[in-house]
Amino acid sequence: MLMKATVSNPDVKTGGIALHNLQKRYGSAVAVDDVSLSVSPGEFISLLGPSGSGKTTTLMMIAGFEMPDNGQVLLDGRDITRLPPHRRELGVIFQNYALFPHMTVAENVAYPLRMRRLAKAEIEARVRRILDQVHLGTLASRYPHQMSGGQQQRVAIARALVFDPPVLLLDEPLGALDKKLREHLRNEIKTLHKEVGKTMIYVTHDQDEALAMSDRVAVMHEGRIRQLSAPKDIYRKPADLFVAGFVGEVNLIPVELKDGIVHGPAGETLPAAPWTGVDSDGTLCVRPEHLHLEANAAPTSSGGMQGRITGMTFVGDATIFEFRSDSGLQLISKVLNVSANTMPEVGDTCIASWLASDATVLTQ
């Protein structure tokens, strides 16, 4: 493990972060609204949300570059809300962060250590070690403009890690790169996370990235955390309509919840866990890959929706079917193109159904 912390030293941070009721206003606009979050030492947490949802502002309050109007930031239980950034000793990779263009890779990475006035030999040894770790050992004397975007991004990561911070804050570090490179570096960051064991708080608006990399994902919208869960639960058990719609594709079916049963727009019974709440209107969320279409079938006792296939698109590994219910609702079904699957055709009358356990009922 790289630069392992010694537990006997009380000054060594383990990297637990707690945010208590953080709030930040710009004029009358609330950028971050009552955000509370507890991050365990060594955990990888993503802040995921659309543009303007308050991700960068939250990260900058943790880093100390923005001062909250209310609330606290704690590092290992110690209140650091009012500490200047350099006294927090947190590694930061900013959104659209550029390297110093007139410095070589080694000089860029050495910079935080020179600021801390470490001895020359110590600086050289640490720079060499961290550059090897991000696979840039052979490029130490290059200048940023002589490197690819992905390599430059790795230099930025090395520079943020070189002074051995307990926490690394990353703001869309892969934002400017193409899809292939993003996926490659995503895996590298994940591997690095396992190797160095640092707490990582990772800002992204890319749901795939957040789901693939994180121990937990905090979905943000309009300055608030709408859901904080493991990736699987964010996808399978969205807490509200915003999360359901923002993370992945979803069919939203207006339903009536009555006498423990979920009724569709035509009054039909739909597959869902028995409803135990009070009678009300709601929305049933079903992912396209969970929605099955069976041609010329009759409804089963678990329920379903009658209708017709109105469109079909081949997308390589899957086929996307458009289904229109007799009640006029347009739904999407995604079927993997495995040879054993028999596919319905456009115009076929169908029953759309799903497993009760694959449907989420939302009532707000």
Ligand X SMILES: Nc1ncnc2c1ncn2[C@@H]1O[C@H](COP(=O)(O)OP(=O)(O)OP(=O)(O)O)[C@@H](O)[C@H]1O
Given a contact cutoff of 8 angstroms between Cβ atoms, the answer to whether 241 and 283 are in contact is yes
Comparing CB distances to Mg ion, the nearer of 56 and 325 is 56
Name which of 363, 347, 349, 351 is nearest 268 in CA terms. 351
| CB 56 to ligand X: min, Å | 3
Give the one entry of Mg ion, ligand X, none that residue 53 binds, where binding means its C-beta sits below a cut-off of 5 to 8 angstroms depending on kind.
ligand X
Give the one entry of Mg ion, ligand X, none that residue 57 binds, where binding means its C-beta sits below a cut-off of 5 to 8 angstroms depending on kind.
ligand X
Classified as helix, coil or strand, 118 is coil
Which tokens in the block code for residue 254? 């207006």
* Interstrand relation of 167-171 and 199-204 (parallel, antiparallel or unpaired): parallel
Comparing CB distances to Mg ion, the nearer of 53 and 360 is 53
Give the one entry of ligand X, Mg ion, none that residue 54 binds, where binding means its C-beta sits below a cut-off of 5 to 8 angstroms depending on kind.
ligand X
| CB 53 to ligand X: min, Å | 4
CA-CA distance, 44 to 9, in Å (whole number)?
Answer: 24
Question: Binding residues for ligand X, how many (CB under 6 A)?
Answer: 13
Which tokens in the block code for residue 222? 């309009």
Comparing CB distances to ligand X, the nearer of 51 and 301 is 51
Contacting residue, 205, 221, 226, 290, with ligand X by CB under 6 A: 205
Find the binding residues for ligand X in span 289-348 (CB under 6 A): none
DSSP 240: S
Contacting residue, 46, 56, 204, 214, with Mg ion by CB under 5 A: 56
Classified as helix, coil or strand, 142 is coil
Find the binding residues for ligand X in span 20-59 (CB under 6 A): 26, 29, 31, 49, 51-57
Residue 258 backbone class (left: φ over 0; alpha: ψ -120 to 50; beta: rest): beta
Comparing CB distances to Mg ion, the nearer of 23 and 95 is 95
Find the binding residues for ligand X in span 55-114 (CB under 6 A): 55-57, 95
Name which of 211, 104, 86, 91 is nearest 158 in CA terms. 91
Asked if 204 touches Mg ion (CB under 5 A), the answer is no
Comparing CB distances to ligand X, the nearer of 34 and 124 is 34
| CB 24 to ligand X: min, Å | 8
| CB 294 to ligand X: min, Å | 41
DSSP 16: -
Comparing CB distances to ligand X, the nearer of 49 and 282 is 49
Comparing CB distances to ligand X, the nearer of 193 and 205 is 205
Stretch that binds Mg ion, among 51-59, 121-129, 260-268, 325-333 (CB under 5 A): 51-59
Given a contact cutoff of 8 angstroms between Cβ atoms, the answer to whether 296 and 348 are in contact is yes
Question: How would DSSP label each residue in 116-138?
Answer: TT--HHHHHHHHHHHHHHTT-GG
In one-letter notation, the amino acid at residue 340 is A
Which x/- pattern over 76-95 shows residues binding Mg ion (rule: CB under 5 A)?
Answer: -------------------x
Residue 87 CB neighbour total at 10 angstroms: 10
**Inter-axis angle of helices 179-196 and 149-161, nearest 10:** 20
CA-CA distance, 314 to 318, in Å (whole number)?
Answer: 6
Stretch that binds Mg ion, among 37-45, 52-60, 134-142, 275-283 (CB under 5 A): 52-60
DSSP 269: B
* Interstrand relation of 224-229 and 261-263 (parallel, antiparallel or unpaired): unpaired
Give the one entry of ligand X, Mg ion, none that residue 49 binds, where binding means its C-beta sits below a cut-off of 5 to 8 angstroms depending on kind.
ligand X
Interface residues with ligand X (CB under 6 A) are: 26, 29, 31, 49, 51-57, 95, 205
Interface residues with Mg ion (CB under 5 A) are: 56, 95
